[in-house]
C-alpha cells in the first residue's frame, strides 16, 4: 500500500519542481528585467510566497483540478501518477528550451484525457468556464497593458517623468517592484500549486477512505509536501526562463515592472478566488509584457522577435503533448489491466 501511495507524491514533487522553474519567470521577470534583484535571491523568496499563497487561497482551484473535470472515484494511484507524469514531461521540455509554459493548460488537458477515455468527461466546466477564462485573461492583460503603455506611460515618458534618475533610483520604487513580484508568486500559490495538489488530494481521499470532514487536512498536508518544491525548481532551472522573459523581449523600466507584476497577479488571483479556475499565469504575464513592449516600440519590432515566436509555438504544442501522452499511457495500462480501478 505504501509504495503505490508514494509514487504519485514523488511524481507530484517532480512536477512541482518543473512548475517552479516555469513559474519563476512570471513572478520575477519584471523585477529581474528591471535589475532590482539578483537571480540568486529569487528562489527563496519565490518558494516562500508560493507556499503561503497555496495555504491561504489554493483550496478552490485544487477542488476544480481534483474533481471538477474527472469523476473523483477515477483518481486512483495509477491514473493520478499518469496524469502528473505527463504534465511533468511536457513542462520539462518547455523548461529545457527556456520557455515559460502554462502548467494549468497542460494539467487540464492531462486530466481531460482519462475523462474522455472513461466516458466521464464534464464538458460544461471545461467549455463554459475554463476555456473562456484562458482566452479572456491574456487578452484582457494585453489590452490593459497596451492602453496603459500608450496612453499613460508613453506620454509621461515623453515629458521625462519616468526617466527621472531620482524616481528610478528611489528605494521605495525598488521595494514596490519587489513587493509586486512576491505578490505574483503568492498568486501562483493560489492557482498553480493546485495542479499537483488537486489530483493527489482526491486520490488520498479515495484510497484511504477519508471522511469529507478531514479532506481539508489532506489538502493542507499535500500542499506542505508540494509547495516547497517550487522553490527548488526555481533554483535549478529558473534562470534561463527568467532571462528569456525578463530581458529577451524588452528591457523594463521600474514603473513598468510594477504595473506588469500587479496586473498579472491580480488577474490570476481573481480566477483563483472567485471561480477556482486553473489559469495560465505565464500567458497573462507575457501578454502584459508584449502589450507594454508594443506600446513602446511597435508591433513590428516585438512580434517578429525569435523569443516571442518560440513562446507561441510552445504554448500550442505543450498541452497537446500532455494530452496525448496521458491518453496513450491510460490506454496501455488499461490494455494490460494495470489500472487499479
Give 173-230 pLDDT, tens digit per residue. Answer: 888 988 998 999 999 999 999 999 999 988 988 877 776 667 678 888 888 889 889 9
Across all residues in the chain, what is the average pLDDT? 84
Element (H, E) at 41: none
Are 246 and 33 contacting, i.e. CB atoms less than 8 angstroms apart? yes
Residue 107 three-state SS: helix
**Rounded-to-integer distance, Cα 331 and Cα 339, Å:** 10
Is residue 223 within 8 Å of 54, Cβ to Cβ?
A: yes
Instruction: Supply the pTM of this predicted model.
Output: 0.88
Tell me the residue range of the domain where 306 lies: 2-335
Asked if the structure places residue 106 within a domain, the reply is: yes
Domains held by the chain: number = 1
Dihedral angle, C-alpha 222, 5, 24, 68, nearest 10 °? -70
Is 61 part of any domain? yes
Radius of gyration for the chain, computed over Cα atoms and rounded to the nearest angstrom: 20
Of 184, 141, 133, 223, which is closest to residue 25 (Cα–Cα)? Answer: 184
pLDDT the model gives residue 23: 80
Domain presence at residue 218:
yes
pLDDT for res 263: 93
The H-or-E segment that residue 250 falls in is none
Q: How far apart are CA 116 and CA 328, in angstroms?
A: 12
pLDDT at position 179:
94
Within a domain: 341: no
Q: Is residue 259 part of a domain?
A: yes
Joined together, the cell numbers standing for residue 330 give: 491510460
Amino acid at each position: 500500500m505504501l509504495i503505490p501511495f508514494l509514487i504519485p507524491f514523488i511524481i507530484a514533487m517532480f512536477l512541482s519542481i518543473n512548475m517552479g522553474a516555469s513559474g519563476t519567470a512570471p513572478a520575477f521577470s519584471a523585477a529581474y528585467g528591471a535589475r532590482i534583484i539578483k537571480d540568486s535571491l529569487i528562489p527563496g523568496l519565490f518558494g516562500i510566497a508560493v507556499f503561503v499563497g497555496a495555504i491561504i487561497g489554493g483550496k478552490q482551484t485544487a477542488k476544480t483540478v481534483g474533481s471538477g473535470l474527472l469523476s473523483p472515484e477515477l483518481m486512483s494511484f495509477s491514473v493520478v501518477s499518469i496524469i502528473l507524469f505527463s504534465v511533468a514531461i511536457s513542462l520539462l521540455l518547455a523548461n529545457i528550451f527556456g520557455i515559460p509554459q502554462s502548467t494549468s493548460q497542460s494539467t487540464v488537458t492531462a486530466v481531460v484525457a482519462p475523462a474522455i477515455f472513461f466516458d466521464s468527461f464534464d464538458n460544461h466546466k471545461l467549455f463554459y468556464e475554463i476555456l473562456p477564462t484562458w482566452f479572456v485573461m491574456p487578452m484582457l492583460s494585453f489590452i490593459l497593458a497596451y492602453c496603459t503603455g500608450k496612453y499613460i506611460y508613453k506620454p509621461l515618458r515623453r515629458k521625462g517623468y519616468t526617466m527621472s534618475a531620482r524616481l528610478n533610483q528611489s528605494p521605495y520604487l525598488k521595494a514596490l517592484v519587489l513587493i509586486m513580484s512576491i505578490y505574483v508568486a503568492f498568486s501562483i500559490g493560489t492557482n498553480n500549486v493546485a495542479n499537483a495538489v488537486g489530483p493527489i488530494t482526491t486520490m488520498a481521499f479515495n484510497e484511504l477512505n477519508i471522511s469529507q470532514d478531514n479532506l481539508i487536512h489532506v489538502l493542507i498536508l499535500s500542499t506542505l509536501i508540494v509547495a516547497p518544491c517550487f522553490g527548488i525548481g526555481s533554483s535549478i532551472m529558473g534562470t534561463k526562463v527568467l532571462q528569456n522573459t525578463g530581458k529577451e523581449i524588452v528591457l523594463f523600466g521600474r514603473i513598468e515592472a510594477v504595473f506588469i507584476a500587479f496586473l498579472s497577479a491580480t488577474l490570476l488571483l481573481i480566477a483563483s478566488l472567485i471561480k477556482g479556475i486553473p489559469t495560465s499565469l505565464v500567458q497573462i504575464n507575457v501578454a502584459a509584457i508584449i502589450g507594454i513592449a508594443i506600446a513602446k516600440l511597435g508591433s513590428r519590432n516585438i512580434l517578429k522577435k525569435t523569443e516571442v515566436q518560440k513562446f507561441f509555438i510552445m504554448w500550442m504544442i505543450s498541452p497537446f503533448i500532455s494530452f496525448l501522452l496521458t491518453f496513450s499511457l491510460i490506454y496501455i495500462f488499461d490494455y494490460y489491466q494495470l489500472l487499479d480501478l
